[in-house]
Chains A and B, each alone.
Chain A
Amino acid sequence: MNKHFIKYLGLLPVYVLLQVVVLNEVLFSAYINPFLYVILIINLPLKTPKWFLLIYAFLLGFSIDLFSGSLGFHSTATILIAFVKPFISKITIPHNILGDTDEITLKKVGSKAFIIFSLFLILIHNSCLFVAEHLSVNLALFGKIMASSLVTLIIVLITQLFQQDK
């Protein structure tokens, strides 16, 4: 488990920089802003201590917030998906596939389960983030949530292709 702590704390600055320097700068359209950093929450092993999961999510969201000039938006959304992750995994990932220290990756859980699991988390993350930002619910916002979620999912799947076998 300690190995995973160190690995994920090391990956945090890498993904934060990737997010703020590359993904936030590339404007696909006014409706699409992919948030790749949620992959860290998705990948964390199921049996990660709960306190680590929540505090890690806060650190991740807060780091992104610091770069974006307004506090609280990304951390709120990220902590929320960290909280719902155990429940979502129960209904989407078949039992007994994962060992205690296995990370949740495409190869480990199979593509169908992984896609549904990630899509749930990404949708919750994006909905929370965009609703907090816009403080209203309308069709354009719904379109933005859907478009951003799909593009985020595609980028998440691409990163999974590069995961090495162990």
Chain B
Amino acid sequence: MHNLLRFIKINQFLLLFLLIEGFSVFLLLKNNSYQANAVIKFSTQYTGFIRNYMATFSDYVDLKETNNYLIEENAKLHALLKNETSFSDSTLIRDKHYHYYSAKIINNSVSKRNNFITLNKGSRHGIKEGMGIITKQGVIGIIRSVSQEYAIAMSLLHREFHVGICLKKNNHNGILKWKGFDYKSASINDFPNHISIVIGDTITTNSHSVIFPEGVPIGTIKNIRKNADDGFFDVSVSLFEDFNQLNYVYIIHSDEAAEQLKLEQKIPADE
């Protein structure tokens, strides 16, 4: 016992270091757990308040750009409205019905491997975990944690984010992921190399997702490389959306999605 106490006394710096460092690494590894989420949710109430306050300054600077953005979006919506009425047949296979909530980004990063976005809408506005975030020119992320006034979303620029995509010209499906470093491009590694793709082809979301609507534009193919090992293309996609200049986004949610998910979960995975 005496020896043990002496050992602790001599090595107290090392032991304290191991204890605190161990706790930190534990936090790091447990980042996806319920507990970590609870900590983030709690702290977002306060960090969100500070962010929101700071965002009011940048709002004035961005007014002109925001105006342009809204005008463009308006034009696009007008065009869409016109097409909708002239093709009444298409209503037969109506898309899932989506609710749109507007939200402002009050914090965002692009330089890390796993990036998060903080939004100024929370559970008080009807936002829930698992809702999708889009803009007129791309998929942005998925809500991961919600406090009363704020929400934190996993950005497309995150290791665990993948979105189902298809080639606009021939509906070939694939999965888009982000490989880190360059926030202007993402990659697809599961196009088999017998299909015809060329640089400049447009990529949109596919119809399989329960989170994102079909046909949200994502980007164009920037570079194609044949992977000799596995018979698939390594495709890099240049994203339409500039993640470093995000300002206003839409949080979307479909009631039918829950039903689809429930139905799909009834089928055991091994069948």
Contacts and interface: CB of A to CB of B under 8 A. Distances in A.
B198 interface: no
A50 B116 CA distance: 34
Nearest to B17: A83
Contacts of A55: 20
Contacts of B83: none
A27 B40 contact: no
Contacts of A91: none
B28 A73 contact: yes
Contact of A30 (B40, B152, B182): B182
Interface in B15-53: 16-17, 20-21, 23-31, 36, 39-40, 43, 47, 50
Given A54-B16, A67-B47, A72 B27 contact: yes
A133 B115 CA distance: 10
B244 interface: yes
B116 A70 contact: yes
Contacts, number: 94
A69 B16 contact: no
Interface string A68-104: 1111110110011011000000000000000000000
B87 interface: no
A54 B20 contact: yes
Interface in A124-139: 130, 132-135
A55 B21 CA distance: 10
A111 interface: no
Given A27-B244, A51-B16, A69-B116, A76 B24 contact: yes
A70 B112 CA distance: 11
Given A58-B24, A76-B21, A70 B43 contact: no
A24 B245 CA distance: 14
Contact of B180 (A57, A69, A134): A134
Interface in B181-198: 181-183
Contacts of A32: 111
**A interface SS class:** helix
Given A30-B111, A67-B47, A75 B183 contact: no
Given A66-B43, A72-B28, A33 B112 contact: yes
Interface in B99-119: 107, 109-114, 116, 118
B60 interface: no
B12 interface: yes
Nearest to B46: A66
Nearest to B58: A25
Contacts of A144: 181
A76 B28 contact: yes
Contacts of A24: 109
Given A132-B28, A133-B112, A144-B181, A71 B36 contact: yes
Interface of B: 12-13, 16-17, 20-21, 23-31, 36, 39-40, 43, 47, 50, 54, 107, 109-114, 116, 118, 152, 180-183, 244
29 contacts: A17-B50, A30-B182, A30-B183, A33-B112, A51-B12, A51-B16, A54-B13, A54-B16, A66-B43, A66-B47, A67-B47, A68-B112, A70-B40, A70-B114, A70-B116, A71-B28, A71-B40, A72-B25, A72-B26, A75-B24, A76-B21, A80-B21, A83-B13, A132-B28, A133-B112, A133-B114, A134-B113, A134-B180, A135-B113
